[in-house]
A and B are shown apart, each in its own frame.
Chain A
Amino acid sequence: MANGTPTTRVPWAQQLLEWVDARFPLSALWKSQVSEYYAPKNFNFWYFFGSLALFVLVLQIVTGIFLTMNYKPDAALAFASVEYIMREVSWGWLIRYLHSTGASAFFICIYLHMFRALLYGSYRKPRELTWLFGVVIFLSLMAEAFFGYLLPWGQMSYWGAQVIVNLFGAIPVVGEQLAIWIRGDYVIGDATLNRFFAFHVIAVPLVLLGLVVAHLMALHETGSNNPDGVEIKKTIDPKTGHPADGIPFHPYYTVKDLFGVMVFLLLFSVIVFYAPALGGYFLEDNNFFPADPLKTPPHIAPVWYFTPYYSVLRATTDELKWVIGIAVLAFMAWALFRRGSNRTRFALLGIGVLLLAGLYELEAKVWGVLLMGSSVVIFAFLPWLDRSPVKSIRYRGWMYKLALTLFVFAFLVLGYLGMQVPTPVLTRVAQVGTLVYFAFFLLMPWYSAIDRTAPEPQRVTR
């Protein structure tokens, strides 16, 4: 330097960061959301599945982009274009298997992620909105999977879509017109394929990404729950000013989740490279027959992740309507004698009368559709159905533990039955499963309140 005063040289990377930070809160976002986002230090195995679901979402988007480059959303070309990807496109078979296996992996991660919430009461106050965004993500994911499954244009793609869209036809008065409007045709056809493609590659993914951002923002506002269900923000370390039981998400959970992703990828790769169809569960055998509108397959079964709800649909027969009717009468009797204002009493009785009228008026098929929809949407009400003084299963009593065990068992049994050809006995089992499934939710205000719980600790334990 000319005047001889030494100057400290600022590294160019730091200069660039300062330049960006003056214009965009990059460092501030990184700090608030990652490096100084304090997460409970006692996350266990079940806490891997949120980050894994995010990983699979990215995997699906990236592989999906490359599939879109060669896929043809045309009823005459779609089936062959998928096989073109499998045979002629460089690494096409790998990209396609990653995507098809990723679809199932996504549901495995989401189901386990939701099970974690049931274990530790993650949906409870103050995380109700995180949970609600999650339920809408789950619904969107189901829509995404449903639209995507039509695209290979095989027999199961075609007839699966036919069955599901026909469900809308069960809605009284407007049903038929609604089904035609959804299909754009009287049967599933080229128009349907085109619009499902549009929904699958752009509309639903956009919604999903937006919802995932909202889900994470809501989570980071309240802070994460943990296996003890205690709020770590209540105990602030006076020296650091941070939660005493919290550790920064980065680097602690970034390195832990990295390990989780690697283990996941190993299991995932075993399927992709050695059993991509997984015995017909991830890629159904019948879907290697091209779609034929004139040939109905003898047995139409959805992919495994939809089968619990499909079972609920099939289990709803005229007999089950009687059982629902008795349940509604029991509900009305309870409403009549419960304490509280007369206004609520009349409102509840009114709902009961409406349900009874619906049972009388609407055929079992319509109720099947209603129950199938309810079996998914009912998750949204969990924050208000659960009256337990504690969040985590560690401090709950035997009633919730039993209820959750029965619920998971019913879910698995319904899932299995949804893949089988229905017989009178299996339908009866599915009906019992359906009742157990709904009882878990509808009786929760009662059993979660009277359950004998242990006191929650002040601090996280392990």
Chain B
Amino acid sequence: MRSLCVAGFAAAALTLGPLAAHAAEAEVRLDRIAADPTDLASLQSGARTFVNYCLNCHSASLVRYNALRAIGLSEDQIRDNLMFTAEKVGMPMSIAMAPKDAKEWFGAVPPDLSVIARARGADWLYTYLRGFYRDPERPTGWNNTVYPNVGMPHALWRLQGERVLKEEAAVKDGKPILGEDGQPLRVATLEMVRPGTQSTAQYDRTVYDLVNFLAWMSEPHQVARKQLGVWVLFSLAIMILLAYLLKQSYWKHVH
């Protein structure tokens, strides 16, 4: 099992650094994770979370359900546990919600998640999914520290619980820290007001597994690619040696 260092990440994530003046362009320090496409238990757990919480609004229409055999699931397991809307195991992970309705309800069509981990990066997704907080000014009631004013509500709120954003003056050695413009810097922290069904460590693990699954899904052949690479590089090393000896034997008389 992977060692659980996610609790440390959670503590780091609570201090979000100075709030940028223009929120849309906010640069947020991302928590880094190492996705592991060989950790089948993690991928299967992520697949379960994905199907239960994401696949209602987001599609993954470039991925077929039976592609999940590659993470150690049988077709029967996929059919019985992960397929709610599709009929055949060879069908793509599409959704019933029409893009037009989605646009009306959320203000933007939820993106297809097939390759989202390649577009956003695993670190971004991991930080984003742990960055939701209550914001009564938003239509959905939720806001996000990584993606301010995002149209997406907090789909995993029952697991994580509800947090609110608290802004306070940044203090170091009892003195307020001044920003580049001479104004006192403000630091945002997220405070839990209603805990969810999972502890912070558990929730971080859930999100890690989910992001790990998204990262696997964005390139299902990545493990095969790295395995094949070993053979290719090994063969080429031998070919280089042979080609070098061949060249030397021809060239020994050239002065």
Contacts and interface: CB of A to CB of B under 8 A. Distances in A.
A269 B230 CA distance: 10
B229 A277 contact: no
Chain A interface mostly: helix
A251 B236 contact: no
Contacts of A259: 240, 243-244, 246-247
A270 B226 CA distance: 10
Contact of A288 (B119, B233, B251): B119
Chain A interface size, under 10 / 10 to 19 / 20 to 34 / 35 or more = 20 to 34
Interface in B200-255: 218-221, 225-226, 228-229, 232-233, 236-237, 239-240, 243-244, 246-247, 250-251, 254
Interface string A225-266: 000000000000000000000010001100110110111011
Nearest to A83: B62
B97 to A, nearest CB: 18
Contact of A277 (B111, B112, B116, B118): B118
B254 A252 contact: yes
Interface in A281-313: 285-286, 288-290, 298
A255 to B, nearest CB: 5
Nearest to B111: A289
A106 to B, nearest CB: 20
B62 A84 contact: yes
Given A258-B243, A270-B233, A285 B119 contact: yes
Contacts of A94: 225, 228
B247 A255 contact: yes
B55 interface: no
A87 interface: yes
Contact of B221 (A86, A258, A270, A274): A86
Given A41-B254, A269-B229, A288 B246 contact: no
A273 interface: yes
Interface string B61-78: 111000100000000000
B42 interface: no
17 contacts: A80-B61, A86-B219, A97-B225, A247-B254, A252-B251, A255-B250, A258-B243, A259-B240, A259-B246, A262-B239, A265-B239, A266-B237, A266-B240, A269-B236, A273-B225, A288-B119, A288-B218
Interface of A: 41, 80, 83-84, 86-87, 93-94, 97, 247, 251-252, 255-256, 258-259, 261-263, 265-266, 269-270, 272-274, 276-277, 285-286, 288-290, 298
Given A94-B225, A269-B229, A298-B25, 19 more contacts: A41-B254, A86-B219, A93-B225, A255-B246, A256-B251, A258-B243, A258-B246, A258-B247, A259-B240, A261-B243, A265-B236, A269-B236, A270-B233, A273-B226, A274-B226, A274-B229, A276-B225, A288-B119, A289-B111
Which A-B residue pairs are the 3 nearest by beta carbons?
Answer: A273-B229, A288-B119, A259-B243
